[in-house]
Amino acid sequence: MRSTIRARAGRTLGIVALIAAALAPGTTSVHAADGPLILKVGTDQEFSGLNPWQSVYVLDYEVFTLNYDLLVGYDKDLNYTEGFATSWTTSADGLTTTFKIRPGMKWSDGQPATADDVVYTYGFVLDALAKETTLGSGYLDGYVSSAGVKSVKAIDPETVEITTETPTPLLLAAYVPILPKHIWSKYSLEQIANAKADGFFANDPPVVGTGPYQAVQYDTQGKFMKFERNKNYWGKQGAADQIIITHFENNDTMTQALKNGELDYARGINADAFDSLQGQPNIVPVEGFANGYSYLTFNGYPKAIKDGGSSTRATADPAFRDALAWGVDLQQLVDKVLAGHGTPGTSLLPPFQAKWYVAPDPSVLRHFDLAKADEKLTAAGYKKDASGNRLDKEGKPINLRMTWPASESELATAAQFITEWWGQLGIKVNAGVTEDQTLLVDLTPPEYDPPGKADFDTYMWGWVGDVDPTSLLEPFTTDQIGGSSDTFWSNARFDELFKKQGQTIDETERKGMLKEMQEIFYQEVPNIPLYYDSELHAYRTDHFGGWQNQPPDTGTPLFQFGPIGYTLLTDATAAPSPSASEAAPSAGASATAAPGDSGSPTSSGGANTGLLLALGAVVVVAIVGTLAVRRRGAKATEEE
């Protein structure tokens, strides 16, 4: 009688185990044997939505280049190729570019896609610029204004003429998706540009575009987007019938999902997880050059700021900055901070920008040399006092604050090393992390609206660029102080060259200007480019094949420029290959893994093991329970 509690417990556990077994995966088939071929992609970025003007992240760009065509596309080598337009010619004076539009092209809903749609899209931006209305987040209209577009005209349904203020290389590079006039012209400027407007047009699915895939589902919780093949697509059709892009909160979970076969592609994997993927069957880790770099910047604000600004005027002195740059071992940082996944920084343009990148001349190239740094500091007027503290020109010991955003947590390691090295130069460094938004506030100078105090000495972050180098150069122009400039550096010659290069079409001429700009930058060191961190992606080869890096030597298949990576994919399971199904993660892979199987681990093989084990657990619990009950009964009577 007393023993019934134990028996009850035993029985309850048994029931729980049975329920668990019943819920075990594989008891009901969740997908048909030959459904659509689905490409599953994971990323750590969040979606902003489907209205391209509201784009903020790389993910948003990826979304709109799947849905829509740019006027001019990119091939696998990042050369211009056909997009919405098939070809173009520029007039002799460089001011007018004539684009030929593909004849017979259709939108995904069957309507004809013509020059009118180009006129609508560019006209829409021009209208917004004229009315000084910011389009969404203001990212895309910037391309049209920096190209100096004056007018857009349709000569006939297959010809568009665009005129610019000056000759410019930026027109072809304008990353603006061509939108269907018959859908978008129904809405006013406000309704498209302003997310707070009444009747805001969010462009909810199903989207109508000329790109290879259109969004048919945007999960209302914003965590994944589903795309379906555009049957009217003018270009090569990729093997995937559907694409699902999912946002992952946790990087490790994303990597696990890739390993499990629940994802075919993962973007933005952590360095250690990346290394663990080497040698895994059917997984290819890809290390792409980043189109950007991480840097350590100095507060170069030229004037004193009340209750703010740098703690020393030294940070505004190029000689000081140059000397300190000799005290940073860039290769060590790459090895220790990035686990080798990157290259030491030199120019402000990363090597990814193969056409424009110019390495510093060996005669001025810096390397790690603390003795030389010491020498240079003293020569520049920064002497050490008796206790070994380095003094600035005002006679104060130099104590530098150093920070980085919480989102770039690996920079903490870089800070540790730099603190150590500069410590040996007699410079104390106080390093600590700052939450992203808070850091954004700390960085703002008085020129921003609302005015800030630029309350920092040094900090570390990164820049990412477009295919055209202009956006990587712009933050260092005087005009951007109060905008994107975080160095507050101002150099008249740099500004002059910046303006000229934005109007130079001849590539050799332009490269000459960019070379000089890179030299000036390297000399004055407004910031120290620390390294060009690699983009770490990985993909599976047992489901899709034909993965093509863009560009081939230095890029990754997806999340680059345009949808070409998706259109080149082939169906890996279509080719007879016994090893492919064995490599599927579930133990005892079921023979019914037909093409179209989305490769989820919940196939019958693994579930059977689960079921068996669960049943086994029930049996064990029941046996133990009964035995214990018997024993307990005996013991209880003893106690009483």
Q: Which of 155, 202 has the CB closer to another protein?
A: 202
Lay out the site mask for another protein across 23-62 (x = CB under 8 A, - = otherwise): xxx-xxxxxx--xx-x-x-----xxxx-x--x-x------
Task: Report, in Å, the least distance between residue 527 CB and another protein.
Answer: 14
The three-state secondary structure class of 100 is strand
Q: Which of 158, 410 has the CB closer to another protein?
A: 410
Q: Which of residues 503-542 bind another protein (CB under 8 A)?
A: none
- 262 sits near another protein (criterion: CB under 8 A): yes
Sheet of strand 535-540: strand arrangement: 213-218, 224-229, 242-247, 38-43, 265-267, 535-540, 283-288
Lay out the site mask for another protein across 155-194 (x = CB under 8 A, - = otherwise): ---------------------------------------x
Nearest-angstrom CA–CA distance, 56 and 26? 40
Task: Report, in Å, the least distance between residue 440 CB and another protein.
Answer: 4
Nearest-angstrom CA–CA distance, 334 and 315? 25
- 195 sits near another protein (criterion: CB under 8 A): yes
Residues 6+ apart with CB under 8 A from 415: 402, 404, 429, 431, 460
Q: Which of 31, 182 has the CB closer to another protein?
A: 31
- 2 sits near another protein (criterion: CB under 8 A): yes
Which residue, among 412, 562, 559, 109, has the nearest Cα to 117 in the 3D structure? 109
Q: Which of 440, 622 has the CB closer to another protein?
A: 440
Start-end of H helices in 202-343:
251-260, 271-276, 318-325, 330-337
Q: Which of residues 576-605 bind another protein (CB under 8 A)?
A: 585-587, 598, 600-602
Q: Which of 98, 276 has the CB closer to another protein?
A: 276
The DSSP string of 440-479 is HHHH--TTSSS------SEEEEEEE--SSTHHHHGGGSGG
Nearest-angstrom CA–CA distance, 212 and 226? 13
What's CA 245's distance to the chain center, in Å?
14
- 626 sits near another protein (criterion: CB under 8 A): no
Task: Report, in Å, the least distance between residue 470 CB and another protein.
Answer: 8
Lay out the site mask for another protein across 123-162 (x = CB under 8 A, - = otherwise): ---------xxx-xxxxxxxx--x----------------
Amino acid at site 293: Y
Q: Which of residues 381-410 bind another protein (CB under 8 A)?
A: 407
Per DSSP, which regions of 76-193 are E strands?
A: 80-82, 85-90, 96-101, 149-156, 159-164
- 609 sits near another protein (criterion: CB under 8 A): yes
Question: What does DSSP assign to residue 488?
Answer: -
**Interacting span for another protein (CB under 8 A) from 112-120, 152-160, 281-289, 472-480:** 472-480
- 106 sits near another protein (criterion: CB under 8 A): no
**Interacting span for another protein (CB under 8 A) from 280-288, 307-315, 444-452, 525-533:** 444-452
Sole residue written with tokens 């540790």: 416
Report the residue from 97, 168, 242, 458 that binds another protein according to the rule CB under 8 A. Answer: 242
Report the residue from 85, 119, 208, 244 that binds another protein according to the rule CB under 8 A. Answer: 244
